[in-house]
Amino acid sequence: MKYRLSILLLVAGVMMLIAPVASAQRDGAPRPGAQAAEADQSERVVARLEHRLQELEREQKRVREAIARLKQGESPSEVLPDLQDEPRGRPGGDRTGPPAQPGPRERGREAITFEDFLAMVRERRPEFAERLEAIRDRDPEKFDRHFQERNTRWRELVALYDQDPDSFDNRMRFIQIESEIQQTARRARAASEADREKAIEALRTLVAEQFDLRRSTVVQQHQDAKEYLARVEASLERIDASREDLIERRVQGLLTESREMERPRRPASGESEPERSPRRSRR
């Protein structure tokens, strides 16, 4: 994420070097309505920050509730999914109601069905597809509600499946391993002394596999970021090499624009020329 932010800031700086800027008013006075527009923008920023603050307060409440549930003996596999994926529009509220309405980014996008998603998982991870089907069979209504509430996540995975099947496969494996980790951890906690060491070793193997999978993903992201930065640096070199030419073309463009604005407008076809006031004869 830090790499992506740095890249965006760098690209923005490059674009500022070559993009035309708006012409200032000749008298230097502020534009009409500028102060009102600035005040309106400030109000919008304050409203967004207040909304963000409310979200953070709700998130803090959800974390405290999750801690309380864990202390009461609930399994992490039951608590963590609710903590990670709160339905949009119903923060911290009743999770048994109807699915939340889609936000602005989700509107206009077709929701994916579980059957379609399962078909893709079955192609890449058939054993995980069987696991999903078994979970759904236990409580179809609850599972379908959970799936629809998180439809945005599934659509992102579908997009990843179309763009990069190998990354989709890794993501599915990561989710699958997490499910296996939770099951193995429960068995290890409940195992007898004779079987405990074997169960712990199986748990350690799964955690190590998940760790390596996460690391390989980060390594790939790092490589992608390096390649993108190399392209940006090449663009900067080209811009630096053309600096004087770019400046001169900008100056000439501004001068041409100024002359065009000062040139009297010719009447269009069918338009009569404005009447000129008669000159007084000199005596």
d(CA 157, CA 117): 9
- The stretches of 75-192 forming alpha helices (DSSP H) are 76-84, 114-124, 126-138, 140-149, 151-163, 165-190
Specify if 198 maps to a domain: yes
Q: Angle formed by the axes of helices 140-149 and 151-163, to 10°?
A: 70
Looking at residue 72, the DSSP 8-state letter turns out to be: T
d(CA 125, CA 268): 70
Specify if 194 maps to a domain: yes
Token pair of 181, please?
A: 């980790």
Asked whether residue 183 falls in the same domain as residue 149, the answer is no
Specify if 130 maps to a domain: yes
CB 173 within 8 A of CB 124: no
Token pair of 209, please?
A: 């596999």
Looking at residue 1, the DSSP 8-state letter turns out to be: -
Per-residue pLDDT of the chain (283 residues; tens, 9 = 90+): 444 545 444 445 545 544 444 444 444 445 555 566 666 677 778 888 877 888 787 777 778 777 877 776 666 656 666 665 444 443 344 444 444 444 433 434 566 788 888 888 888 778 878 888 888 888 888 888 877 777 777 778 878 877 888 888 888 888 889 989 999 999 999 999 889 999 999 999 999 999 999 998 899 889 989 999 999 999 999 999 999 999 999 999 998 876 666 666 666 565 555 555 555 555 4
Residue 100: which of 84, 88, 82, 83 has the closest Cα?
88
Specify if 189 maps to a domain: yes
Asked whether residue 115 falls in the same domain as residue 157, the answer is yes
Residue 100: which of 153, 145, 156, 52 has the closest Cα?
145
d(CA 160, CA 210): 19
Q: Report pLDDT for 271.
A: 56
Domain total of the chain? 2
Asked whether residue 146 falls in the same domain as residue 204, the answer is no
d(CA 169, CA 154): 14
Specify if 221 maps to a domain: yes
Specify if 7 maps to a domain: no
User: Where does residue 141 rank: exposed (0-12), middle (13-18), buried (19+ CB within 10 A)?
Assistant: exposed
Specify if 73 maps to a domain: no
Residue 60: which of 98, 96, 89, 86 has the closest Cα?
86
Specify if 115 maps to a domain: yes
Looking at residue 26, the DSSP 8-state letter turns out to be: T
3-state secondary structure of 157: helix
Residue 182: which of 202, 212, 196 has the closest Cα?
202
Asked whether residue 171 falls in the same domain as residue 232, the answer is yes
- The predicted model scores a pTM of 0.42
State which residues form the domain around 182: 166-242
CB 3 within 8 A of CB 223: no
Which of 207, 227, 242 is the last residue before a domain boundary? 242
Asked whether residue 198 falls in the same domain as residue 151, the answer is no
d(CA 65, CA 279): 90
Which of 224, 242, 260 is the last residue before a domain boundary? 242
Which of 207, 222, 242 is the last residue before a domain boundary? 242
DSSP H or E run through 247: helix 243-262
Asked whether residue 188 falls in the same domain as residue 199, the answer is yes
